[in-house]
Structure 1
């Protein structure tokens, strides 16, 4: 009979202890994904540089313009090691003065490919794994210039990725 009285008493304590300790554990487990998601931050893309210069010269006249850039995955909200890894970056490049709108004669850079051209706007896509703080390989591309082109050639470029922000970078050269 004492066995029966002791057993319910011990079971009740065990149940109370288990209940007290399991409730916070469940609450933490439920809250953890929300905290993790809010700590990731918004990715910000940055063009490390944007260069443009004349190429394919005939005498003193450039037949094409060659450019280079690389895109960096910068993070926001002070998150250095927990930012998102990006798997695709789109680079849009617009020539403000006188290219011929043809398909690039050169596209070079691991993971980079030419996607489209519309008038004087070119689109390139990079596919890979871009961790926070990392940069894409350098993209080098060459576009033909109009035969009559002479003077200041201006180009602007912006990189985008799913959910990322990006400023536009501009460069120019006098050909």
Structure 2
């Protein structure tokens, strides 16, 4: 939908112009330019009900966002010999299963590369193993790529370092 229209026009068009999924170029652009993963951070010692009350009272940090464009920039920098964005990857990997599934459907490279980055980091801690956690994480990333429509994955692979991540892991995962 055109973003330059007034809000009332955008609402009217969205009500009359619908489709189930964006095309591959829209998904690739939205994943880079506008995608944000939001977190609400509360006291971890609280139970679910107490945490909900704290959120409703505004006593939790709801301002933390992980943006697709920032994550992409950090991952690209890493594969050009920068530090790996492991903190950002861990935010994605430690999210609930439904949160990860949603991220995978809305901005697949973020979830896939989070697995690849952490799997690569574990190689330095655990060493290469076909049954180790690093191999499991990379296998999960590869499985996730299979859930993405091939034409969408191809469009995203032109702007996200999916191939670089795979080659880097394979180069370092020697037996």
What band does the TM-score fall into relative to the shorter chain?
under 0.3
- Larger relative helix fraction: 2
Q: So what's the TM-score if we normalise by structure 1? A: 0.23
Q: So what's the TM-score if we normalise by structure 2? A: 0.23
Larger Rg: 1
- Larger relative strand fraction: 1
Greater RCO (Cα-Cα under 8 Å, separation 6 or more): 1
